[in-house]
Amino acid sequence: MTRLTPTFDRLRAEGRRAFIPFIMGGDPDLEASEGLLHALPGAGADVIEVGFPFTDPMADGPVIAEAGQRALAGGQTLKKTMEMVRRFRQAGHETPVILMGYANPVLQYGPDFASDAVEAGADGLIVVDLPPEESSGLDMMAHKAGLSMIRLATPTTREDRIDAVLERASGFLYYVAVAGVTGDRSAADDELGEAIARLRERTSLPIAAGFGIKDAVSARAAAQHADAVVVGSALVKTLAVRGHEATLDLAREIAAAVHGEGSVS
């Protein structure tokens, strides 16, 4: 069992939703991204997604795509991203960590990827461009190693494919709240609620909502429906424009909104 299950169980018992920030490993450089990773639990993160960069990030909007390019220019790799996670664990942090990226770096890493990721301290994996029908080999390795495979469902996922997605999902289900690339537009509250309600009829996995959630207001709205709220582009953009402390301030604000604390405007 990964750290994800007890984390979601605890939050459910407390009547709270999970805040899941995304950062790009190596952006703007390894030291800065690692410092942010270590600081996010104190800013209210319940789970953290750490991206590993790729040269052709087809699902990423410009903000995260540019972050990936900066990371690649600085020499960031999947292995270096995993070593970031290892040092995070060595520092005593127990917050679950999800590695997120594209299939090519994972396949290039080779058959030891899943076991090495778990040994480094990762709890789950999101591979944006690997559909369930093509992932049986990686699924087997992940299952054997104890690495959760988080699957994506979108507003355009056909009903006849949902079962295939859910059959191969573990940890939680990531619902892409808007069709398109990351940071593209805002999620519509009514549509999000209806979509998540339909998914709850078919799975007992926690459901996280992401894409199009940009601030505390939209995060709190999403938390009315989802078990977790993922915020990426807004944090990555703030880091690029305003730096480390401003990013942590935004993370605290969004975390409070997701956790139902204070007021938002």
Cite the active site residues. 49, 60
Residue 191: closest CA among 173, 205, 174, 209: 209
CB atoms within 10 A of CB 33: 27
For the chain, helix, strand, coil in percent to 5 are 50, 15, 35
* Maximum separation of any 2 CA atoms in the chain, in Å: 48
Q: Collapsing DSSP states into helix, strand and coil, what is residue 148? A: strand
Residue 236 to residue 104: CA distance in whole angstroms: 23
- What ranges in the chain are assigned the alpha helix state H? 4-14, 30-39, 62-73, 78-90, 103-109, 113-120, 136-145, 159-167, 189-200, 216-223, 233-242, 244-258
The gap from C-alpha 223 to its chain's centroid, in whole angstroms, comes to 15
